[in-house]
Amino acid sequence: MTNNLHKDRIKHFTTFGQKLPHAKVYYREDWQIIYFDLAGKMFGLMSPTLSDEAIITLKGDPDSNRELRDMYPDISAGYHVNKRHWISIKLNTEQLSDQEIDAMIKQSYLLVFNNLPAPLRREFTENNW
């Protein structure tokens, strides 16, 4: 995958994440990472620069995460997070389409959303869903 495609992927996933209700995706200076946030809770991390090591790290179901790691060499246990609940995907992967990774971003978002306090979930649901 060329650097332009890689750069477009970073932009695409950032934009996709920002379109999820109440989500914020921004460059977090103290961690030097693109941070996916929902109500102060992380649902993803992404490398901000182009390199062969650039990744996106997302939350997932532990059993599904294991299956994905077994199926795709470009998916590994989450980097600097709980290895059971998080996976890291190489941004230069050709094994997964943008749409497949979009679905993983949304799944990560929903896992975090479903663990928010009930009053906050209700408020979010009433205001934008």
> Over the stretch 16-44, which tens digit does the pLDDT of each residue have?
999 999 999 999 999 999 999 999 999 99
Query: DSSP letters along 45-102, please?
Result: EE--S-STT-EEEEE--HHHHHHHHHH-TTEEEPTTS-TTTEEEEETT-SSS-HHHHH
Strand partners, 75: 89
Computed over every residue of the chain, the mean pLDDT equals 92
* Angle 76-49-35 from CA coordinates, rounded to 5°: 70
Confidence (pLDDT) at 1:
46
Q: Give the model's confidence band at 125: pLDDT under 50 very low, under 70 low, under 90 confident, else very high.
A: confident
User: Under DSSP, is residue 23 helix (H, G, I), strand (E, B) or coil?
Assistant: strand
Q: What is the mean predicted confidence (pLDDT) over 45-74?
A: 95
Domain 3-128 has CATH 3.40.50.10860: no
Residue 52 φ then ψ, to 5° = -70, -20
Confidence (pLDDT) at 129:
52
